[in-house]
Amino acid sequence: MNKVTVRTLKKLKENKEKFSMLTAYDYSTAKYFDQAGIDVILIGDSLAMTVLGYENTNFVGVEEMTIFTKAVAKGVKRAMVVTDMPFMSYTINISDALKNIGNMIKKGANAVKLEGCNDYILELISRSVQMGVPVIGHIGFTPQSQNVIGGHIIQGKDETAAQELLKQAKQLEKAGIFALVLEMVPENVGKFITENLNIPTISCGAGRFCDGFVMVCDDLLGKFDDFTPKFARKYCEMKSLIIDCATKYIKDIKSGNYPNETEVY
């Protein structure tokens, strides 16, 4: 069993092999995804909504992301562990950003993910890589900027916007990212960017032609139902399973069926 590294993902792209990425926020889920053979596990700031019940990702902070990073890292042997740097933890100044980024690696992450592309982010990426921290970029719809964007809006829809995304992707690649998440962009834009980069792209609602694919684990498992993006595919119905189990447990207690004679000391 070889640990997935930046070199593994690069080779997969070169060999035109797709790779898988899922979010996980706790020890046992991460352990099972790892056992299943997932390539990359992301401690996504989506945990703000799925785990902590916040309205959006901007409410989560470094301390919370640190706790979930530690838990996930303990459960994983093979997959690459990536932590999302939360809102405002990397945009105030380079020095604090590098401290926060380095701290995630000390807690068990193998890499971090940063949203956006501007001169500051490009400098931060190259400084992080110099410091020894691999970085995944994230463009297209960037949830931490949703108040500026004005909602969950598909990006890169016209030629100018698509060309701007390609320009950003190339700048990020040059700055040193080893992979790039493309969120909520038309499929042809995902394809176009993928074909024009040497590093792997990861589709988060960017169509079928990216090198890797990511999904929020609660969407995959049918656990979170406040909203579900179009690109999510539900592989089971954990919500009804949880309600069903709790209902049966309550019924068994009321009827005296739990605990039985094998469940006592």
Owner of token pair 């916007």: 161
CA distances from 199 to 6, 55, 62, 65, 98 (A): 10, 33, 28, 26, 23
When the beta carbons of 105 and 112 are compared against ligand KIV, the nearer one is 112
| Tokens matching residue 29 | 């889920």
Any idea of the CA torsion for 190, 124, 120, 187, to the nearest 10 degrees? 0
DSSP 264: -
Residues 6+ apart with CB under 8 A from 71: 25, 26, 27, 30
Q: Identity (one letter) of the amino acid at 163?
A: Q
Contacts of 13-19 with CB under 8 Å at 24 or more apart are 13/198, 13/199, 13/200, 13/211, 18/211, 18/212, 18/213, 19/200, 19/211, 19/212, 19/213
Q: Is 183 a catalytic residue?
A: yes
When the beta carbons of 84 and 173 are compared against ligand KIV, the nearer one is 84
Site string for ligand KIV, 76-95 (x = CB under 6 A): --------x-----------
When the beta carbons of 76 and 204 are compared against ligand KIV, the nearer one is 204
Please identify which of the residues 123, 183, 187, 261 carries the catalytic annotation.
183
**Closest distance of CB 181 from ligand KIV, Å:** 5
- The Cα 213–Cα 105 span in angstroms is 23
When the beta carbons of 139 and 204 are compared against ligand KIV, the nearer one is 204
Site for ligand KIV in 90-129 (CB under 6 A): none
- Taking 3-state DSSP, the helix, strand and coil percentages for the chain, each rounded to the nearest 5, stand at 45, 15, 40
Of the candidate spans 37-45, 126-134, 147-155, 159-167, the one that interacts with ligand KIV by CB under 6 A turns out to be: 37-45
When the beta carbons of 197 and 215 are compared against ligand KIV, the nearer one is 215
Q: Contact with ligand KIV (CB under 6 A): which of 216, 218, 220, 224?
A: 216
Q: Contact with ligand KIV (CB under 6 A): which of 9, 162, 189, 204?
A: 204
**Closest distance of CB 204 from ligand KIV, Å:** 4
User: Does 45 engage in binding with ligand KIV (CB under 6 A)?
Assistant: yes
Q: Contact with ligand KIV (CB under 6 A): which of 71, 117, 135, 181?
A: 181
Inter-axis angle of helices 187-195 and 159-175, nearest 10: 40
Of the candidate spans 39-47, 90-98, 169-177, 232-240, the one that interacts with ligand KIV by CB under 6 A turns out to be: 39-47
User: Does 219 engage in binding with ligand KIV (CB under 6 A)?
Assistant: no
- The Cα 133–Cα 77 span in angstroms is 19
**Closest distance of CB 89 from ligand KIV, Å:** 14
**Closest distance of CB 137 from ligand KIV, Å:** 11
User: Does 44 engage in binding with ligand KIV (CB under 6 A)?
Assistant: yes
The catalytic residues are 183
> Which residues sit at the interface with ligand KIV, rule CB under 6 A?
23, 42, 44-46, 84, 181, 204, 214, 216
